[in-house]
Amino acid sequence: MSTEMDTREKKLQVKDLTISFRTINGKLQAVRNISFDLYKGETLAIVGESGSGKSATSKTILGISAGNTIIESGEILYDGKDLLKISEDDYHEIRGDKISMIFQDPLSSLNPVMRIGNQITEAMLLKNKANRRESRKKLNAIFRKLDSVMKETKGGDDDKRFDTFKKIIGQQSKYEAPYSQARSNAEGGLKAAEDMLLSISKDAVANPVAETRELAEYFRASVDRFVVRDEAEMKSIISAMEKAAHESAKSKKFDSLKAQVEKGRDLLRKALENESPDFFALGCYLVLGNNTLGDENSAELNAKAQPFVNNQFMMGFKSDIKGALIASAKKSVEGMENAIKALREASSKLSSAMPERAEATKLAKELSDKVEAGIDPFETVKDSFSYTFRVSLTSAMTVYYDDIVRNVAEQKRFDRQSARYARLEAKGKAPEEAVAPLSLSDLSLVQANIIKILDNMVSQYEQQLTVARAYDFDKRTEAFVSWMRETAMASFRVITKSLAKDRAIRVMEQVGITEARKRYRQYPFEFSGGMRQRIVIAIALTANPDILICDEPTTALDVTIQAQILELINKLKKERDLSVIFITHDLGVVANMADRIAVMYAGKIVEYGTSEDVFYHPAHPYTWALLASIPDLNSKGNKLESIPGTPPNMIYPPKGDAFAARNKYAMEIDFEEQPPMFRISDTHYAATWLLHPNAPKVEMPEIVKERIERMGGQN
């Protein structure tokens, strides 16, 4: 919401990230200076071969890079934090919960001595308590802030409204959790019953007793106040059904079983057709109206409870919140204006000359305070720039002044050693060790970096100002209240073992594991590779993350299952507005999944654009080569255009373009200098000298051109 001009919220921003690995042979440059943004609800595909730095990037985002990793520079901004600078404890709250990952290798990412079910539910159960605590903390902090702002506007929260609000949400969650559990079981039961009826009609029931037992579990779990209301009827159906199953196992006649299953199915179908209750309204009805729950069904309850949603209490509550929001936004606008002024001054001052260290530290502190005064505490989406401003400015300042000291020491060392060398040489003794070359850091670069931080902040705040001046406070209040409801719900959401099991089984079914209830109790070695991969996916999905990183999730799977998993990820993405980073080298999968594509080669992004840009108007020779080297269903017989050679050894990265040695379009400059990112359109960038205005005009290879024409993608 901070950048409504861009219409989409940036979930994750990676800036100038450079990663190296320490190896016995030297420092291996895995990722070189890459930057990308991930918007909310989009899929960014990272394409490249092994060793191109795809996995290194994603592991760094998750803070699980290997021990020999050196993060040379860069920022990863997420939810007001720079993930490269936060502590391990802070990471615990993000990893797996907010940012989740599907790993490539199912063999090494499952615990061999734990049952599958426990592995899926483990994180859910462990994280639940911490999540509740965290939401409670967050909610109370917001309430305190609201209270303090309200004190200024209307004298504080006299009538204990926040407590009442919490009570309402408490009642809501008390009824909602069992309802959703029972409902999902009813849905599962309905599907299982239909499947069973189908196999009965074709005489294809292999083991009626076991199948009925599974069905009965669903039936039993779907009994709830609001779903299957008649518990006795359900129980009688279940016992009759189990009896019929035993009989039919002996007699091989399924008529009585079929009748019972149909009965159960009809009961579930009827239950699912019921209107679903509005639990927030129910909470209001119970708390505000001081009512108790009788034997009403959900439609009646909804009708009774509806008036309480918009009664005096809620209206007053909302109008107070609106007042607080307006006051705080006004304050934040003032803060931003002040900050911009101060930042501009500081920027021009620092670019002319850097002050003494103590003075600079003071300046940094002042600036950070001013910037933080511009932050609106009621902004539910944190803009990462202003929150990380203090850390990045202070660390950049520290680097500058440390470098001054270090440069002097380095110069001294060099002078001393070369003097000694010269002395020895003058005596005619050939010294054994050469003098290590002088390595001074370029202070002007560091200075420019500091200026850049200030300027970025200014442009960020300018953007926010235009947004903040045009706020629609009614809309904002609604959004804020629903955010509060969401957070309050999270603080009440208790996950019991049975709930976790239910959810695990549902996810297992979603990822295409048959007989999920039976398999829940098995060990990883009892699963095939594809099945194990699906378990890993299920584990990642149970966490309900903000960002899902998929590191070659379907490479080990065959096409049908792959299609199923991709559909599932796409469905979840739509349902939960999930942002996905999808790492793969299968271009077909990329075409299916990606909204935008980043092609990586030797640690750099060589091409970056929407999926139409990259597939229909590829610009980099590496992308051409990738497209030409895969057979599609129409390319029979003609020889494939293979890429000669292998990727370069990144311990000794080539001086120019890393792809030059394998590139048949390489020019002299490709071996001399690395190409910058050339802009092709607003969304499409590529790093190749071929796009330089002085470069000769080169057409893409025939085979790629033909294929694009065949696809009909040329618009």
Partner 1 sequence: MENKVEDREVLLRVENLCQYFKLGKFAVNKAVDNVSFDIKKGEVFGLVGESGCGKTTTGRAIIKLYDITSGNVYFKGQRISAGTRSYKDAIAAARKELRNCKDDGRKAELEQIISDNKAKIKDAKACNKNVDRKLVNQIQMIFQDPIASLDPRMTVRDIIAEGLVIKGIKDKNYIDQKVFEMLETVGLVREHASRYPHEFSGGQRQRIGVARAVIMEPSLIIADEPISALDVSIRAQIMNLLNDLREKMGLTILFIAHDLSVVKYFSDRIGVMYYGHMVELASSEELFRHPLHPYTRSLLSAIPQPDPNYERNRKRIVYNPVADHDYRNGEPTFREVCPDHFVLCDDAEFEKYSKIVSEEA
Contacts of 465 (CB under 8 A, 6+ apart): 333, 336, 337, 340
Contact between 592 and partner 1 per CB under 8 A? yes
At its nearest, how many Å lie between partner 1 and the CB of residue 528?
Answer: 5
Binding mask 473-512 for partner 1 (x = CB under 8 A): ----------------------------------------
Using the rule CB under 8 A, which residue among 272, 561, 661, 698 binds partner 1? 561
Contact between residue 270 and residue 264 where contact means Cβ atoms under 8 Å apart: no
Q: How far apart are alpha carbons 99 and 549 in whole angstroms?
A: 7
Contact between 629 and partner 1 per CB under 8 A? yes
Contact between 631 and partner 1 per CB under 8 A? yes
Contact between 514 and partner 1 per CB under 8 A? no
Contact between 529 and partner 1 per CB under 8 A? yes
Contact between residue 549 and residue 76 where contact means Cβ atoms under 8 Å apart: no
State the sign of the Cα–Cα–Cα–Cα dihedral 633, 636, 638, 641.
Answer: positive
Q: Which two tokens stand for residue 332?
A: 């934040």
Closer by beta carbon to partner 1, 392 or else 663? 663
Where helices occur in 354-383 by DSSP H, the ranges are 357-373
| Residue whose tokens read 């930057």 | 35
- Of residues 593 through 622, those in contact with partner 1 by CB under 8 A are 594, 611-612, 615-616
Closer by beta carbon to partner 1, 201 or else 348? 201
Q: Which two tokens stand for residue 265?
A: 């199915």
Contact between residue 483 and residue 380 where contact means Cβ atoms under 8 Å apart: yes
Q: How far apart are alpha carbons 626 and 52 in whole angstroms?
A: 14
Closer by beta carbon to partner 1, 237 or else 566? 566
* Residue span binding partner 1 (CB under 8 A) among the ranges 337-345, 464-472, 492-500, 525-533: 525-533
Using the rule CB under 8 A, which residue among 372, 478, 641, 706 binds partner 1? 641
- Of residues 163 through 202, those in contact with partner 1 by CB under 8 A are 195, 198-199, 202
Using the rule CB under 8 A, which residue among 88, 89, 203, 356 binds partner 1? 203
Q: Which two tokens stand for residue 289?
A: 């109206």
Which residues, in sequence order, are bridge partners of residue 47?
Answer: 584, 599
SS3 of 77, please? strand
Question: What kind and span of H or E run contains 323?
Answer: helix 312-352
Contact between 308 and partner 1 per CB under 8 A? no
CA distance to 130, 311, 611, per residue, from 46 (Å): 33, 51, 11
At its nearest, how many Å lie between partner 1 and the CB of residue 297?
Answer: 35
Using DSSP, how many helices (H) and how many strands (E) does the chain show?
A: 23, 12
215: exposed, middle or buried (Cβ count in 10 Å: 0-12, 13-18, 19+): buried
* Residue span binding partner 1 (CB under 8 A) among the ranges 150-158, 348-356, 399-407, 624-632: 624-632
Contact between residue 481 and residue 310 where contact means Cβ atoms under 8 Å apart: no
Contact between residue 277 and residue 226 where contact means Cβ atoms under 8 Å apart: yes
Closer by beta carbon to partner 1, 125 or else 563? 563
Question: What kind and span of H or E run contains 174?
Answer: helix 161-201
Contacts of 353 (CB under 8 A, 6+ apart): none
Beta-strand runs (E) in 40-179: 43-47, 69-78, 81-82, 99-102
At its nearest, how many Å lie between partner 1 and the CB of residue 597?
Answer: 9
Using the rule CB under 8 A, which residue among 101, 589, 600, 605 binds partner 1? 589
- Of residues 35 through 64, those in contact with partner 1 by CB under 8 A are 49-50
Using the rule CB under 8 A, which residue among 204, 409, 430, 434 binds partner 1? 204
Contact between 626 and partner 1 per CB under 8 A? yes
Q: Taking every pair of C-alpha atoms in the chain, what is the biggest distance, in angstroms?
A: 110
Using the rule CB under 8 A, which residue among 125, 249, 630, 698 binds partner 1? 630
Contact between 625 and partner 1 per CB under 8 A? yes
Closer by beta carbon to partner 1, 450 or else 625? 625
| Residue 95 DSSP code | B
Q: How far apart are alpha carbons 569 and 96 in whole angstroms?
A: 16
Contacts of 704 (CB under 8 A, 6+ apart): 618, 624, 627, 628
Closer by beta carbon to partner 1, 198 or else 404? 198
Query: What are the two backbone dihedrals, phi and then psi, of residue 192, each rounded to the nearest 5 degrees?
Result: -65, -40
At its nearest, how many Å lie between partner 1 and the CB of residue 651?
Answer: 14
| Residue whose tokens read 């009688």 | 236
SS3 of 230, please? coil
Contact between 709 and partner 1 per CB under 8 A? no
At its nearest, how many Å lie between partner 1 and the CB of residue 714?
Answer: 11
Contacts of 354 (CB under 8 A, 6+ apart): 360, 400, 447
Contact between residue 84 and residue 76 where contact means Cβ atoms under 8 Å apart: yes
Q: How many of the other CB atoms lie within 10 Å of CB of 366?
A: 12
* Residue span binding partner 1 (CB under 8 A) among the ranges 101-109, 329-337, 403-411, 640-648: 640-648
Contact between 220 and partner 1 per CB under 8 A? no
At its nearest, how many Å lie between partner 1 and the CB of residue 564?
Answer: 8
Contact between 68 and partner 1 per CB under 8 A? no
Question: In the β-sheet with 678-679, what is the strand arrangement from edge to edge?
Answer: 99-102, 547-551, 579-584, 43-47, 596-601, 604-610, 685-686, 678-679
Binding mask 95-124 for partner 1 (x = CB under 8 A): ------------------------------
Closer by beta carbon to partner 1, 249 or else 708? 708
Contact between 26 and partner 1 per CB under 8 A? no
Contact between 284 and partner 1 per CB under 8 A? no
Using the rule CB under 8 A, which residue among 67, 636, 693, 697 binds partner 1? 636
Using the rule CB under 8 A, which residue among 23, 73, 466, 646 binds partner 1? 646
Using the rule CB under 8 A, which residue among 223, 339, 557, 700 binds partner 1? 557
Q: Which two tokens stand for residue 98?
A: 């907010």
Q: How far is CA 38 from the centre of its chain?
A: 9
Number of residues that bind partner 1 (CB under 8 A): 57
Contact between 530 and partner 1 per CB under 8 A? yes
At its nearest, how many Å lie between partner 1 and the CB of residue 21?
Answer: 18
* Residue span binding partner 1 (CB under 8 A) among the ranges 16-24, 153-161, 313-321, 626-634: 626-634
At its nearest, how many Å lie between partner 1 and the CB of residue 188?
Answer: 17
Closer by beta carbon to partner 1, 190 or else 626? 626
Contact between 587 and partner 1 per CB under 8 A? yes
Closer by beta carbon to partner 1, 149 or else 536? 536
Q: How many of the other CB atoms lie within 10 Å of CB of 273?
A: 7
Binding site for partner 1 (CB under 8 A): 49-50, 195, 198-199, 202-204, 528-530, 556-563, 566-567, 585-592, 594, 611-612, 615-616, 625-633, 635-636, 639-644, 646-647, 707, 711-713
